[in-house]
Structure 1
């Protein structure tokens, strides 16, 4: 009975199939998805279908990512967003041209059901991007920060590794939870393609939106499994720049 956390998928269903197989996922495993199921590669609708089906078979906890929120806005309000188009949205819009109205309704319900964060019984926090309130997620004034914030990860990267948690300058946000698991900001930005720990923050976004692999990790043992780099699985697509 493992607890497995999954990084940003970005429409890469082939990669999702690979990590499920490589991690030998069974129905007894709890799966925590960190969000950004869509935008980037061509199978965003199929990724959502896969996860909806998976939720009917085993325990799945699904976070809301910023790209998922942008898709929901487009599906419900058909609002054009040029910036979104340039950051993976165009591939998603094209993919939805062949999706039925019935499926779109199911996808809207799924996107509306996503969680802003999840705190487990071991006081481990799972959130797509981060939070800013010094008293924790229950006190966050702006829910959008759960799937847009980058300051949590930027602070973790800039922290002096010699600084202990009792130091007066140590970030209070880091002391509120035993571990914090995030996605949103790919670790490929710092030249990595495997999960990165800074302080008690674990970043599991290994760049699947670009040329990195998709990652699934056992949060208890820290063992992880990865897909092939997404641009190799979708060699006939350009993906995101």
Structure 2
């Protein structure tokens, strides 16, 4: 049976990505939806991008663009080094490209440029890196950068009364447009939770791989979860973004 699997923020953790792909035991009919932030943090960002390009040639993959991917794309496109990016994992990403040829860098830039900011499937399930602010849904979002930087959608869902029914006039209009919403961007480890979190109709699959957490994947139909080892144990001589 074909599966649709959402995979959280990788942040240069190639070893964790390999673990996850092995645990999932991917089948040709599966669809993998990656939630963004493939780079910045651990030492193998360029290698993660290379593996994802190769993976996409064998299986149906959707790669959502995250804020760190935007920074990396701008750098590869010779728009200079963003100082904020450099301090939040960009340094490690730049260093990971040392052994990559100019041709490979061009291929990676093309790959990053091709990434959508969101994906809406046939069952009205929305996938995006961060969030959106418009009460009318993604098509009316005034600032497209919110798709990869907004945290208010998730914060709102966490603050909601669990007993609030969707038919209530108090139920947030933002959430009524989609059956389910899948995001990354805000690590669940911020809330001392190591697995994907659910609030209202939102599932957050970023379990802190950039820091001390794990990389997670979730079958969005069965809600089965696979996880890697904690990233610091896979990169014992590195700090990741734990600086």
What TM-score range do you get, normalising by the shorter chain?
over 0.9
1:235 is aligned to 236
Superposed CA RMSD: 0.8
**TM-score (norm. length: structure 2):** 0.97
Deviation, 1:78, is 4.0
2:105 is aligned to 104
1:45 is aligned to 46
2:139 is aligned to 138
2:174 is aligned to 173
1:220 is aligned to 221
2:78 is aligned to 77
Q: Deviations over 1:81-132 (max 9, x none)?
A: 2211121111101111221101100000000000110000110000000111
- For residue 77 of structure 1, give the secondary structure of its aligned residue in structure 2: coil
- Distance in 2 (CA, whole Å) between partners of 1:183 and 1:138 is 20
- For residue 206 of structure 2, give the secondary structure of its aligned residue in structure 1: coil
Native 8 Å contact 2:195 2:207 kept in 1: yes
Native 8 Å contact 2:66 2:148 kept in 1: yes
- Distance in 1 (CA, whole Å) between partners of 2:225 and 2:20 is 9
- For residue 220 of structure 1, give the secondary structure of its aligned residue in structure 2: coil
- For residue 98 of structure 1, give the secondary structure of its aligned residue in structure 2: coil
After the TM superposition, which residues 1-241 of structure 1 pair with which residues of structure 2 at under 5 Å, given as runs? Answer: 1-241=2-242
Moved beyond 4 Å, runs of 4+: none
Deviation, 1:36, is 0.3
- Distance in 2 (CA, whole Å) between partners of 1:195 and 1:32 is 15
- Distance in 2 (CA, whole Å) between partners of 1:80 and 1:37 is 18
- For residue 217 of structure 1, give the secondary structure of its aligned residue in structure 2: strand
- Distance in 2 (CA, whole Å) between partners of 1:70 and 1:152 is 22
Deviation, 1:13, is 0.7
- Distance in 2 (CA, whole Å) between partners of 1:126 and 1:238 is 29
Deviation, 1:80, is 2.1
- Distance in 2 (CA, whole Å) between partners of 1:73 and 1:47 is 18
Native 8 Å contact 2:132 2:141 kept in 1: yes
- Distance in 1 (CA, whole Å) between partners of 2:169 and 2:75 is 45
Native 8 Å contact 2:47 2:96 kept in 1: no
Native 8 Å contact 2:40 2:88 kept in 1: yes
**TM-score (norm. length: structure 1):** 0.98
Deviation, 1:136, is 0.8
- For residue 127 of structure 2, give the secondary structure of its aligned residue in structure 1: strand
